[in-house]
Amino acid sequence: MTVERKVTVETEAGGGAHARKPRKDAARNRAALLAAADDLFARCASPEDVTMSDVAAAAGVGKGTLFRAFGDRTALIRALYAARLEPLERAVAEGPPPLGPGTPPLERVPALLDAVLCFKFDHRHLALALEGTGGDSPYRAEHYERWHALLRSALADLLDPPDADFTAHALLAAVRADLVEYVAGTHGTGREELRARLGEFVRRVLGTTGGT
C-alpha cells in the first residue's frame, strides 16, 4: 500500500531550522509591517497607543496577516528591535576594538555600555515598546541574557565572580530605556551629556580613577 510518500520531510532532523522559503507576497507584507510599526512607534508618544490594528492598517494589510506573520504583539516588537540591533550585535561579536572581542576589559566594558546607551537613546521608541511589553520583565528576553553574559565575562577579569554577575545587571539597569527616556525627556539632558555621566559612573564602578 505504499505508505503515501506525502512526507514534506523538511530535512528538519539535522537541527537546521531554516523556514522553507516564504512566498513573495508574505515577504513583502512582512517588510511592510515592520516598516509601518517602526514608523508608528516613532511617531506616537507612548507605545501603548499604537494598536495592532493601527499597524496592520498602516501597512495596508489585514489584521490576520499581521498576526500570521508575527504571532503576537511581543514578537512583532522583538523582531523590529532585533532588526535594528543587529549591526551593533555584529560589531560586538566580530568587529574591531573597542567593541569587538580581544579588547581589554577595562576598555571594553565602558565601550559596550556607551554603545548600548547610544542605541537606547536613538531608538527609545522601540526600546520602550520592548521593555514595556507589560507581560512581565524585560529580563525574559533572550537578548538581555546575551548582553548580561557578555558584560559579566568582560568583568570577570576585574571582579570576583559573584560581584561580576551582579555588577553586570546593575550597569545594564543604568541604561534601561525608561530611565534614558525620563532623564532625557524631563531634565532635557542631551545625548552627549548623558554619555558623559554614564562614562563617569562606569569609571567609578570599575575603580578607574580619572587617568589620561
Chain positions contacting DNA, by CB under 7 A: 6, 8, 21-26, 28-29, 49, 51-53, 61-65, 67-69, 71-74
For the chain, give me the number of helices (H) and strands (E)?
Answer: 10, 0
Name the residues that contact a second copy, by CB under 8 A. Answer: 46, 48, 128, 132, 134-139, 162-163, 165-167, 169-170, 173-174, 176, 178-179, 181-183, 186-187, 193-194, 197-198, 200-201, 204-205, 207
Cβ neighbours, 10 Å, residue 42: 12
Nearer to a second copy by Cβ, of 84 and 189: the residue is 189
Nearer to a second copy by Cβ, of 128 and 130: the residue is 128
Closest CA to 200 of 68, 91, 110, 106: 110
Q: In residues, how long is the chain?
A: 212
What does 46 interact with, of DNA, a second copy, none (CB < 5 to 8 A by kind)? a second copy
CB of 202 to DNA, least distance (A): 36
Rg (CA), the chain: 21
Closest CA to 201 of 115, 142, 78, 114: 114
Cell 517602526: give the residue.
38
What does 65 interact with, of a second copy, DNA, none (CB < 5 to 8 A by kind)? DNA
